[in-house]
């Protein structure tokens, strides 16, 4: 059965810290891996990764995919209180529209 | 360009009732997917519609059904509501049948509470 597992499930840090969120997956017909940030309701898109070893970067956030070891990491440097949210990892398996999500990592950044 | 919208925002129903949730896809998008997100969990795929036809379904019973209209808006219907159906229901749209190399844009969701 296809599955996506995130760790840790929750994390509390202080402003300025660097955090690493993990996502491992086991899916058939892997197409791509996505990271989303969910603050209140609608998940907002962060990154899509399709190729192994190529880092995607946006400001203080970066992510990389390892297709051999079947995992991805999301790094956030110099964290701010506005980074507090649930971070979701999801994987496209085949083209049936089935985006498989992990259970999310809840990040709390304290002032 | 308008984003994905959903209605209603919140809904309270009792067990056994039926509910219809609505979603308007982002302008130019012809594919709509529905997800159920229970508290503290990641979203679970319910089904996807592409040009008014179902294009993939997750592990949900037949009492979860859907519809897509010619303008690509969509409805999610749930019959015989159970307490475990209480969740945030998210709609997402994309511009291609095979979305696996494209971003899905999510709506704000409908919070359903079943008493």
What's the confidence (pLDDT) of residue A52?
A: 81
Dist. CA A74–CA B60, nearest whole Å: 31
CA dihedral B110, B36, B87, A90 (to 10 degrees): -100
Select from B45, B99, B106 the Cβ nearest to the Cβ of A100. B45
What's the confidence (pLDDT) of residue B69?
A: 93
Select from A40, A45, A98 the Cβ nearest to the Cβ of B58. A98
Name which of A3, A97, A101, A102 to mutate to probe chain B: the one with the most chain B Cβ atoms within 10 A of its Cβ. A97
Residue B1 has pLDDT above 60, yes or no: no
A19-61 pLDDT, tens digit each:
999 999 998 888 889 999 999 888 999 999 987 888 899 999 9
Q: Where are the beta strands (DSSP E) in chain A?
A: 3-7, 10-14, 19-26, 30-38, 44-49, 56-58, 61-66, 71-76, 85-93, 99-101, 105-110
What's the confidence (pLDDT) of residue B44?
A: 94
Residue A12 or B29, more confident: A12
Residue B98 has pLDDT above 70, yes or no: no
In chain A, which residues have their Cβ closer than 8 Å to the Cβ of B42?
4, 6, 88, 90, 101-104
Question: Is B86 at the interface with chain A, CB within 8 A?
Answer: no
The sheet carrying A56-58 orders its strands as: A3-7, A19-26, A71-76, A61-66, A56-58
Would the CB atoms of B107 and A44 count as touching at under 8 Å? no
Dist. CA A92–CA A95, nearest whole Å: 8
What's the confidence (pLDDT) of residue A31?
A: 85
Would the CB atoms of B56 and A97 count as touching at under 8 Å? yes
Would the CB atoms of B45 and A92 count as touching at under 8 Å? no
In chain B, which residues have their Cβ closer than 8 Å to the Cβ of A43?
43, 90, 106
- Determine which of A13-17, B36-40, B52-56, B79-83 has the lowest per-residue pLDDT on average: B52-56
Mean pLDDT of A62-75: 94
Closest-CA residue to B81 (of B57, B48, B115): B115
Please check whether residue A85 is in contact with residue A32, taking contact to mean a CB–CB distance below 8 angstroms. no
Mean pLDDT of B53-66: 93
Helix extents (H) in chain A:
none
Residue B62 has pLDDT above 60, yes or no: yes
Dist. CA A101–CA A106, nearest whole Å: 14
pLDDT band for position B92 (50/70/90)? very high
Identify the contact set of chain A against chain B, taking CB-CB distances under 8 A.
4, 6, 31-32, 34, 36, 40-45, 48, 50, 88, 90, 92, 94-104
What's the confidence (pLDDT) of residue A96?
A: 60
């Amino acid at each position: 059965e296809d599955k996506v597992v995130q760790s840790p499930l929750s994390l509390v840090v202080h402003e300025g810290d660097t955090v690493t969120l993990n996502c491992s997956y086991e899916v058939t017909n892997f197409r791509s891996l996505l990271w989303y940030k969910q603050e209140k309701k609608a998940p907002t898109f962060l990154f899509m990764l399709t190729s192994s070893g190529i880092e995607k970067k946006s400001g203080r956030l970066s992510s990389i995919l390892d297709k051999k070891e079947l995992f991805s990491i999301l790094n956030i440097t110099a964290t701010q209180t506005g980074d507090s949210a649930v971070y979701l990892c999801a994987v496209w398996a085949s083209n049936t529209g089935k985006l498989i999500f992990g259970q999310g990592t809840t990040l709390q950044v304290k002032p | 360009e308008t984003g994905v919208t959903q209605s209603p925002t919140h809904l309270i129903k009792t067990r056994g009732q039926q509910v219809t949730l609505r979603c308007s896809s982002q302008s130019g998008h012809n594919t709509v997917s529905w997800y159920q997100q229970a508290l503290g969990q990641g979203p679970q795929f319910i089904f996807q519609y592409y040009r008014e036809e179902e294009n993939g379904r997750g592990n949900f019973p037949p009492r979860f059904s859907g519809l897509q209209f010619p303008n690509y808006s969509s409805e999610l219907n749930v019959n015989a509501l159970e307490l475990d159906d209480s969740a945030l229901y998210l709609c997402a749209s994309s511009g291609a049948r095979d979305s696996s190399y494209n971003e899905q844009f999510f709506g704000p969701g409908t919070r359903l509470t079943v008493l």
